[in-house]
Amino acid sequence: MVKKFILQWSTFLFILLLSFASVQNPITTSYIHEIKQQTVSPVFKAENPLYQDIMDRKDNYEIPAVDAKVDNVWKAVPGINGVEVNVAASYEKMKKNGTFDVKKLVYKQSPPKVSLDDLPPNPIYRGNPEKMMVSLMVNVAWGNEYLPDMLKTLKEHDVKTTFFLDGSWVKKNPKLAKMIVEEGHEIGNHAYSHPDMKQLSNARIYEELTKTNEIIQATVGVVPRWFAPPSGSFRQDVVDIADELGMHTVMWTADTIDWRNPVPDEMAEKIINKSEAGTLVLMHPTSSASDGLEKMISGLKEKGFTIGPVSDLLNEQRIMSKQHQTWY
């Protein structure tokens, strides 16, 4: 009985002290409210100059979102997220030292009002020009002998990219298709029989795309989100039908023209020099591409580009450069 009485009184006193502390410490309650609501009381600001310092400086580190749009030249251009400073979380990381530290700023990304999927069907020739990323698009309908070396080079440099596969090629080379996926690369649709899509009837366009998607899914368990027309030939019907099947039509910004067997180093240098933020680089499994790939990757990275799959290049996520503490 005594023990029960002591326990009840202990609980009562604890609640009383907690309530008293909350009433007497508006800074604590204001801060909790700030964490939950992203608002803050004048008392908290007055007692916490660091918080006000973060508030005063945050505009210098924030970037507005950019909407996706249809450009007269580049057609569909993806949007990119805005960047906002999470003041409460930043304060929490800095309060121990009590001074502003840009490296401890905490950010959150805010999406644009218009996304790529909101646009009418249009081909895509490049990513958003604010995103310091490029993508290597490897169209595969032949060149099996060069794929292992290209995959090895990509792995050595920790680069993932997108391989657009011809449906009939996948049917004949399921092991190579699986090898590409097992290495962590993205798969796109490159039609079934490498036709001139512009000259096909709508029924044939539909057949070329659906047949390829079906065999890719059956072989590697992937449903492509991107379609690259063979030889870059298409008309609006092709773009519309691809869109109906859940795919965006992707072209290129820079072409290696590797099928002409250029000198590998010269080919790589040309791509490095031409590449800008958002560049889509067209390649094939060829001798020139295989031999020039390492130099191309190294040169693009030296220019500050991240190299990633088409999905990463065309999505709205910004990337933080930890080295320069900047967003792109």
Residues of the chain within CATH 3.20.20.370 domain(s) are: 121-327
Quick: pLDDT tens for 163-204: 999 999 999 999 999 999 999 999 999 999 999 999 999 999
- String of b and e for 192-230 (b: at least 16 CB within 10 Å)? bebbebeebeeeebbebbebbbebbeebbeeebbbbbbb
The number of helix segments (H) and strand segments (E) in the chain equals: 13, 14
Note the pLDDT of residue 43. Answer: 52
What is this structure's pTM?
0.83
Q: What is the pLDDT of residues 189-244, one digit of tens each?
A: 999 999 999 999 999 999 999 999 999 999 999 999 999 999 999 999 999 999 99
Q: What percent of the chain has pLDDT over 90?
A: 80
Q: Give me the pLDDT at residue 10, please.
A: 52
Task: Please give the pLDDT value at position 19.
Answer: 47
Residue 44: what pLDDT? Answer: 60
CATH value of 121-327 in 3.10.20.90, 3.40.50.1820, 3.20.20.370, 2.60.300.12: 3.20.20.370
What's the angle, vertex CA 230, arms to CA 261 and CA 154, rounded to 5? 55
Coil, strand or helix at 254: strand
Per-residue tokens: 220: 């590697």
Give me the DSSP letters along 256-268: --GGG---HHHHH
Tell me the average pLDDT across 296-318. Answer: 97
pLDDT of residue 40: 59
Phi, psi (deg, nearest 5) at residue 231: 60, 10
**pLDDT, tens digit, for every residue of 79-94?**
999 999 999 999 999 9
Instruction: For 250-280, write each residue's pLDDT tens digit.
Output: 999 999 999 999 999 999 999 999 999 999 9
Beta carbons of 188 and 228 less than 8 angstroms apart: yes
For the ranges 43-57, 99-113, 140-154, 208-222, the lowest mean pLDDT is seen at: 43-57
Average pLDDT of the segment spanning 111-125:
97
Mean pLDDT, the chain, rounded, equals 89
- What per-residue confidence (pLDDT) applies to 242? 98
Q: What is the pLDDT of residue 261?
A: 96
In this prediction, residue 7 carries a pLDDT of 46
The pLDDT, as a whole number, for residue 292 is 98
Query: In whole angstroms, what is the distance from residue 149 CA to residue 153 CA?
Result: 6
Angle between helices 147-156 and 287-302 (to 10 degrees): 20
- pLDDT tens digit sequence for 14-26: 444 444 444 444 3
The b-or-e profile of 151-172 (16+ CB within 10 A means b, else e) is: bebbeeeebbbbbbbbbbbbbe
